[in-house]
Amino acid sequence: MEKKTGATDIADTMAYDYSNFYSASGEDLFDLLVPFQEWYQEARPGGYYQFELPIHSAPSTRVDVEDTKAGVIRKGLINFASYNYLGLSYRPEVKEAIKAAVDRFGAGSSGSPILSGTTALLRELEEKIARFKGKEAALVFPTGYSANVGLIAGLMRSGDLVVADQFAHASVVDGMILSKAQSRFFRHNKPEELDRKLRDFRGKKLVVVEGVYSMDGDLVALPDILKVTHANGARILIDEAHSTFLFGENGRGVAEHFGLDEEVDIHLGTFSKSLGGQGGFVAGSKALIDYLRGFSRSRFFSCALAPPVVAGLIAALGIAEKEPELRKKLWSNVDFMQKRLKEGGVDTGDSQSQVIPIMIRNDATIFGIGEQLFHEGVFINPVKYPAVGKHKSRFRMSISAAHTREDLEEGADVIIRVLKRSGVIA
């Protein structure tokens, strides 16, 4: 009955996933590597090649993607994979600003922001993002990931308590671990569960939620969660990575959308999605930002954001502020796509945003379906366990303001056709 690693039966290989190689007992650190490599050599052509496909053009609404299995470049695919929600990364104004910054500053900042890496551009971006968010001050980090890590580990200490939504991003979890505070998770969007985790704790408490959850596209139940947070004397951080510049009357995010901007203590966002650039930020009181400036290790032990990137972000932020019609176009596109997919019988889960999960709910078939979509002209990423729960596999669709109606109709047609052929929908 002994099954060897490197099984010749591909069905056996695909029954395993990354979680099977997470850790091992035994005493040699490298014990894991050989079985993992044997599995991966078969798993990659079995479907895992669909991750990290190199793109050969800008992350626009149509994109050229290298099929590393077939050895060809598939051109002009309808792009539902990139997070370019407002289509800003390739706007001419943004590119011109980047080029001007390259001429003035060169490639990088050549230093930690605390030492020599803070350029005048970086300071300008921090002031502008604070003003946009309606807060006293803001702090820019090299990535959204480092923003969460630096904020949580910079603020919380051993003996404190952090309670995050169970679907919180990995950067939140890593920040919790690094902070050495007690870590708890509450069932997704359930305020009564949050209350249970908070109520018997005496000490400093931080609640962490997200504006839009990145796998399901649903919104935080902010009003009820805020009530519980305040009743328990805790502070709250909202990570608006997928919602800043999109939600609310002024695009400030989901907190503004709910009319609770002032009630949230700490606002975090990223520049890599709606603004199409790179980096993350924290916005809040001047006292908070001045404190974090001295205690966020992920920020000051990294090089500051490169000046050309910062220049591009300043230009993109200006466009986002001056062109609120971009948000209107995005929501019009989202409404159209949700309706079109539902009419076709597609399960889009609990999405309330530009992130639309195309639910497959079968870990064994998702890669085969993904390959068909790829071959038939749609670039969209499969997501399966362990990134989401077992048999909660889906394709994660990102809608952009830049998508035309033709892009959406053609994309929906391909998706519905492939899902019907695969027996996912009738």
Partner 1 sequence: MELTRYEFKHCVGAMFEMSTTAARKILPVHLQPLEVQHTRSVLAVLAFQFTDSEVGAYDEVVLSVVTPPRMEPGKALPTAAFYPFMLATSTEAARRHAIERWHLPHFMKDLDFSFDSSEGRMRTRVMDEGTPVLELTVTEHAFEPVTWLYHCFMLDDADRLKVNIFMQAPHSQHEEETGELILHPHPMTDALADADVATYPFREEWYRAGIQTFEEVEHL
Chain positions 378 to 407 lying near partner 1, rule: CB under 8 A, are 389-392
DSSP letters for 312-364: HHHHHHHHHHH-THHHHHHHHHHHHHHHHHHHTT---TT--SSEEEEE---TT
In the complex with partner 1, which residue's Cβ is closer, 131 or 361?
361
Provide the 10 A C-beta neighbour count for residue 211.
28
Tell me which amino acid residue 349 is: G
In this chain, which stretch among 14-22, 69-77, 342-350, 405-413 interacts with partner 1, using CB under 8 A? 14-22
Helices 222-231 and 191-198, interaxial angle, to 10°? 20
Among 118, 182, 372, 381, interactor with partner 1 by CB under 8 A: 182
Q: How far is the CB of 32 from partner 1 (least distance, A)?
A: 5
* The one among 53, 55, 114, 177 contacting partner 1 by CB under 8 A: 177
Can you give the length of the chain in residues? 426
Candidates 46-54, 180-188, 240-248, 411-419: pick the segment binding partner 1 (CB under 8 A). Answer: 180-188
Sheet containing 161-165, strands listed edge to edge, beginning at the edge strand earlier in sequence:
137-141, 280-284, 266-270, 235-239, 205-210, 161-165, 182-186
Name the amino acid, one letter, at 276.
G
Residue whose C-alpha is closest to residue 160's, from 115, 201, 110: 201
**Interface stretch with partner 1, choices 177-185, 216-224, 227-235, 321-329 (CB under 8 A):** 177-185
Ordered DSSP codes for 166-232 = TT--HHHHHHHHHHT-EEEEE-TT-HHHHHHHHTT--S-EEEEEESB-TTT-PBP-HHHHHHHHHHT
Q: Are 171 and 144 in contact (CB under 8 A)?
A: yes
Least separation in angstroms between CB 408 and partner 1: 31
Q: Give the residue, chosen from 10, 24, 70, 115, that forms a contact with partner 1 under the rule CB under 8 A.
A: 24
Give the nearer residue to partner 1 in terms of CB position, either 173 or 320. Answer: 173
- Stretch touching partner 1 by CB under 8 A, among 145-153, 182-190, 232-240, 266-274: 182-190
Q: Which of 94, 163, 173, 238 binds partner 1 (CB under 8 A)?
A: 173
Number of residues that bind partner 1 (CB under 8 A): 34
Question: Using an 8 Å Cβ cutoff, are 279 and 272 in contact?
Answer: yes
Min CB(26)–partner 1 separation in Å:
5
- Shortest Cβ distance from residue 385 to partner 1 (Å)? 8
Site for partner 1 in 132-171 (CB under 8 A): 166
DSSP per-residue codes, 160-173: -EEEEETT--HHHH
**Smallest separation, CB 300 to partner 1 (Å):** 24
Residue 372 corresponds to which amino acid?
Answer: Q
Contact status: 32 vs partner 1 (CB under 8 A)? yes
Q: Tell me the C-alpha distance between 108 and 309, whole Å.
A: 9
Closest distance of CB 369 from partner 1, Å: 16
DSSP string, 137-162: EEEEESSHHHHHHHHHHHH--TT-EE
Tell me what percent of the chain is helix, strand and coil, each rounded to the nearest 5: 40, 15, 40
41 interacts with partner 1 by CB under 8 A: no
21 touches partner 1 by CB under 8 A = yes
Nearer to partner 1 (CB atom), residue 168 or residue 289:
168
Question: Residue 30 or residue 71: which is nearer to partner 1 going by CB?
Answer: 30
For the window 338-377, what string marks contact with partner 1 as x by the rule CB under 8 A?
------------------------x-x-------------
By CB under 8 A, name the binding residues for partner 1: 1-5, 7, 15-16, 20-26, 31-32, 34-35, 39, 166, 173, 176-177, 182-183, 185, 187, 362, 364, 389-392
